[in-house]
Amino acid sequence: MSNLDNSNSPSNYNNGYYNIGSMILIGCCMVSSWIFIQRWGQRNKVGPKTWPLIGAAVEQLMNFDNMHDWLVEYLSKSKTVVVPMPFTTYTYIADPANVEHVLKTNFANYPKGEVYQSYMEVLLGNGIFNADGESWRKQRKTASFEFASKNLRDFSTVVFREYSLKLFTLLSQASFQNRSVDMQELLMRMTLDSICKVGFGVEIGTLAPHLPENAFARAFDTANIIVTLRFIDPLWKVKKFLNVGSEALLTQSMKIIDDFTYSVIRRRKAEIEEAKTDSNNTKMKHDILSRFIELGEDPDNDTTEKSLRDIVLNFVIAGRDTTATTLSWGIYMIMTHEDVAEKLYLELKSIEEERANEEKVELIDCDIEDPVSFNKRVSQFADLLTYDSLSKLYYLHAVITETLRLYPAVPQDPKGILEDDILPDGTKVKAGGMVTYVPYSMGRMEYNWGPDAAAFKPERWLKDGFFQNASPFKFTAFQAGPRICLGKDSAYLQMKMALAILCRFYKFKLVQGHPIKYRMMTILSMAHGLKLTVSRCS
């Protein structure tokens, strides 16, 4: 009988090897062709190198720690840069026309998006900074009314003055003891205390003289860092499911945050109810939480404790890190530009004398070697700073704005894409991808600001001594269009109050050898803090 099974014959082995080799060869040719096509297609385009499957991930990861400056390099050559990634494509834009299209003209096509919301939901919930659609519109309408309230403005002015003076006292002690301080850490404490007072109506005391640890503050910082890391951690959902690593720490932190927040909400609700039954209680609370609790009593308003929690935490995260970061970069810019420091000092001296004349008060003698008289003079100056007098400090306003131009608190802001679209410059964007406008790069582009774009020059914002705004689609530190920041005026108020008091009576000097570099996070904070020494001036 003949053997019909020839599967083990040498010829079949050879055929098998031939087929496998052919498949490998064809595969290599296909990959090579794909790479050639991609490289050929990109020969006249500006952007990072891309590879099969992983896109530009290699170059982006290699430049992660200095990504903002990495983007500056590309966007200085092209106003739009496309960066393919493994699961999506990022389109970075720095042209005001493209920014206006995304943030205003075709606003509905560029929401926060499900990807961004999934990262931030644990901390921001469905609050105004994480919401889209009708939920966002409803919150925006209510918040817009509240931020326009004179009561909130006056309450905020008092709070910002109070905590600026607390910061001043800590710096005064450091100056008399010849100690260096980490200004960024102190500013983070000041803004957290301030926003909790304005937002919750409670004193958490992180700026107390001994700089105590605070469970809520520590948990809030930890949660903020971890949700930011989700943007670059492809395994965060696995960690969350298994409750391990950073996600386990996030869960612990959120419990502390929520326990504190809900306890404050319930206590405030009880205080409001008690006030209704006490005819002698005429004291009205003007913090944001109290106002939203009162608005929630309307039968047509479906406010819950969860929605109140989301509202307050959204304002805390927006009003704390952004303001402290801007103040840190502002102080760094002032102390490294002597001409700016001198002009600012003269403006502050001038407003002090003007307000003293208006109020018909005699200025206290300022002996910088005597802590008592020195601190009394500072307190007197702070009392002269009102909302209206601060609004006359045009050079100070320009200094802050110029700081935000070069060091925007939010250096990148990604938006989802609902439907395919074409940007004004002809760039095609696909549904499911992301478009990111880049304030950090926009402020450094000569095609936006002229040949001196990289220079710190507050005078660019002044005309005949008065402050002049730029288009919000060119100066994007506060976003633009329907989502333009509602807290812009409040942020300027706090920053002007703090800098007016500090820069009128102090000079700052960077600790020798201290490195200044940004940390790659959602907020443009300083990676190593801002360590400096303080000297007094009269």
pLDDT of residue 424: 97
Least confident stretch, 76-80, 178-182, 307-311, 500-504? 307-311
Percent of the chain residues past pLDDT 70, beyond the cut: 88
Backbone angles phi, psi at 80, to 5 degrees: -135, 130
**Does the predicted model carry a pTM greater than 0.95?**
no
Q: Which residues are annotated as a binding site for heme?
A: 485
Which one, of 69, 147, 94, lies nearest residue 475 by Cα?
A: 94
279-298: buried (b, 16+ CB within 10 Å) or exposed (e) per residue?
eeeeeebbbbbbbbbeebee
What kind and span of H or E run contains 413?
strand 413-416
β-sheet with 80-84: strand ranges across: 80-84, 89-93, 434-437, 413-416
- The pair of three-digit structure tokens given for residue 447, joined into one six-digit string: 């095609």
Q: Whole-angstrom Cα distance, residue 406 to residue 484?
A: 19
Q: What is the CA radius of gyration of the chain?
A: 28
Q: Which residues are annotated as a binding site?
A: 485
pLDDT over threshold 70, residue 529? yes
Question: Cα–Cα distance between 466 and 399 in angstroms, integer?
Answer: 13
359, containing H or E segment: helix 338-359
421, containing H or E segment: strand 421-422
Per-residue pLDDT tens digits for 347-360: 999 999 999 999 99
User: Distance of CA 27 to CAs 20, 30, 54, Å?
Assistant: 10, 5, 17
Whether the CB-CB separation of 523 and 322 falls below 8 Å is answered with: yes
Please report the DSSP string for 424-483 in residue order. Answer: TTS-EE-TT-EEEE-HHHHTT-HHHH-TTTTS--GGGGEETTEE----TTTS-TT--GGG
Per-residue pLDDT reduced to its tens digit, 417-427 = 999 999 999 99
Give the pLDDT confidence of 22-57 residue by residue, as tens digits: 555 555 544 444 444 444 344 446 777 776 766 676
Identify the DSSP state of 64.
Answer: G
Choose the weakest-confidence range: 34-38, 113-117, 168-172: 34-38
The domains of the chain are located at 121-536
Q: Max Cα separation, the chain?
A: 125
More confident site: 229 or 387: 387
Nearest to 475 by CA among 492, 495, 487, 461: 461
User: Considering Cα of 389, then 390, then 392, then 396, what sign does the dihedral take?
Assistant: positive
Q: Are 190 and 230 in contact (CB under 8 A)?
A: no
- Scanning the structure block, which residue is given the tokens 């509240």? 146
* Fold annotation for 121-536: Cytochrome p450 (1.10.630)
